[in-house]
């Protein structure tokens, strides 16, 4: 039977019953939306400056989505417009089926069709609650692909996907593709390690480890918008967890990446982070406040 989404017949049915927070783009059950989005009320996100909670009724073409090939068998879904924080989902293509890592806050018939042509979707894995977005609709559109939610972060679900799978620790989701919860940003914050088409290794790091604009270093934050860093010991722990895997390249959940030497960059960046947060370089910050 042809997929009704691709025929554009009951497309809107996929979005019935869903409300999105207009600020973060995370989905909720429309019949029971909270007074304030708890994801935004948490200090890792933010409420609108005017303090007014706004809910968005998602539509099929509320934003544009471009499917971009990043490297062999790895694609990005880049959203233009719509609501939310503008994350960039990734689609990983393997011989055993495909995986979506992080989820767009929008959905379009064209993007679904392009993703479907890449092969069967076996799993959808948001790296942490800020990435929950329209995961129910994407799962339904892609033949009910399982949505993997870290058990430690399941309390942030505002809407349970129809094909929900709770997971803990570390699992090989597909042959050669391992999901690992390293914590830090959220207790269940995860990374995805893939051997890569060239065998050198790729880490899809979400917000667990964020590539910096220089393309050579990373950062480790409890709250990115509010600039609250993780402690040095936690950054070192997260980096050490990632370094158990061999990877040459790293892609975050926005447009940032490190395209060579990524494993070493993560370890070096964690050491730098730990040194600054522990006060090792306070002598470089100026004389203000010094006694005497």
Q: What is the pLDDT of residue 289?
A: 52
**Cα(77)–Cα(64) distance, integer angstroms:** 10
Percent of the chain with pLDDT over 70: 95
Number of domains in the chain: 1
Beta strands, E only, 118-163: 121-125, 146-150
Residue 283: inside a domain? no
Domain membership flag for residue 285: no
Is 290 a domain residue?
Answer: no
Each residue's pLDDT tens digit, 34-44:
999 999 999 99
Token readout for 177 is 């593709």
The whole-number pLDDT of residue 1 equals: 33
Backbone angles phi, psi at 165, to 5 degrees: -130, 120
Greater pLDDT, 190 or 60: 190
Would you say 83 and 133 are in contact if contact means Cβ atoms under 8 Å apart? no
pLDDT score of 6: 44
pLDDT on residue 287: 85
- Res. 7 pLDDT band, cuts 50 70 90: very low
**CA 54/CA 36 separation, integer angstroms:** 9
Asked if residue 89 has pLDDT above 50, the reply is: yes
**Mean pLDDT value of segment 232-237:** 98
Mean pLDDT of 163-167: 98
- Confidence at residue 81, expressed as pLDDT on a 0 to 100 scale: 94
pLDDT at 10 over 80: no
List helix spans (H) across 72-198.
Answer: 109-117, 135-141
- Mean pLDDT confidence for 97-123: 97
Question: Does residue 46 carry a pLDDT above 90?
Answer: yes
Could you give the CA distance from residue 22 to residue 24 in angstroms, rounded to a whole number? 6
Residue 23 included in any domain:
yes
Q: 202 in helix, strand or coil? A: strand
Residue range of the domain that includes 218: 4-277
pLDDT at 291 over 60: no
In a domain, 284, yes or no: no
pLDDT, mean over the chain: 94
* Residue 158 DSSP label: B
Q: How far apart are CA 105 and CA 138, in angstroms?
A: 10
Question: Do the domain assignments include residue 96?
Answer: yes
- 126-153 pLDDT per residue, tens: 999 999 999 999 999 999 999 999 999 9
> What pLDDT, on the 0 to 100 scale, is given for residue 62?
81
pLDDT at 56 over 70: yes
Q: Is residue 79 part of a domain?
A: yes
Query: Which sign, positive or negative, has the C-alpha torsion 232, 86, 47, 29?
Result: negative
Q: What is the pLDDT of residue 5?
A: 46
pLDDT confidence of residue 282 = 93
Mean pLDDT confidence for 282-286: 93
CATH number at residue 200: 3.60.15.10
pLDDT in tens, 213-231: 999 999 999 999 999 999 9
At residue 140, what are phi and psi to the nearest 5 degrees? -65, -35
**Is residue 268 in a domain?**
yes
pLDDT in tens, 186-207: 999 999 999 999 999 999 999 9
Name the percent of the chain lying above pLDDT 90. Answer: 91
């Amino acid at each position: 039977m042809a997929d009704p989404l691709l025929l554009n017949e009951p497309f809107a049915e996929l979005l019935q019953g869903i409300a999105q927070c207009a600020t973060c783009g995370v989905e909720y059950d429309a019949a029971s939306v909270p007074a304030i989005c708890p994801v935004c009320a948490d200090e890792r996100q933010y409420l609108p400056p005017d303090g007014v909670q706004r809910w968005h009724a998602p539509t099929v073409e509320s934003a544009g989505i471009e499917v971009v090939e990043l490297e062999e068998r790895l694609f990005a879904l880049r959203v233009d417009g719509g609501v939310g924080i503008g994350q960039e989902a990734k689609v990983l293509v393997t011989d055993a089926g495909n995986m979506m890592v992080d989820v767009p806050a929008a959905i379009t018939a064209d993007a679904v069709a392009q993703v479907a042509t890449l092969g069967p979707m076996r799993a959808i894995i948001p790296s942490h609650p800020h990435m929950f977005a329209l995961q129910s609709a994407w799962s339904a559109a892609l033949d009910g692909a399982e949505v993997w939610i870290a058990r430690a972060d399941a309390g942030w679900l505002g809407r349970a996907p129809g094909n929900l799978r709770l997971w803990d620790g570390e699992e090989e989701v597909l042959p050669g593709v391992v999901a690992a919860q390293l914590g830090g940003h959220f207790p269940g914050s995860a990374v995805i390690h893939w051997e890569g088409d060239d065998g050198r290794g790729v880490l899809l790091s979400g917000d667990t480890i964020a590539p910096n604009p220089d393309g050579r270093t990373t950062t480790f934050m409890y709250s990115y918008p509010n600039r609250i860093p993780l402690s040095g010991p936690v950054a070192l722990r997260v980096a050490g967890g990632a370094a158990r895997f061999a990877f040459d390249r790293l892609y975050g959940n926005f447009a940032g990446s490190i395209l060579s030497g990524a494993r070493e960059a993560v370890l070096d960046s964690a050491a730098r982070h730990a040194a600054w947060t522990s006060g090792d370089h306070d002598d470089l910050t100026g004389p203000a406040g010094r006694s005497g």
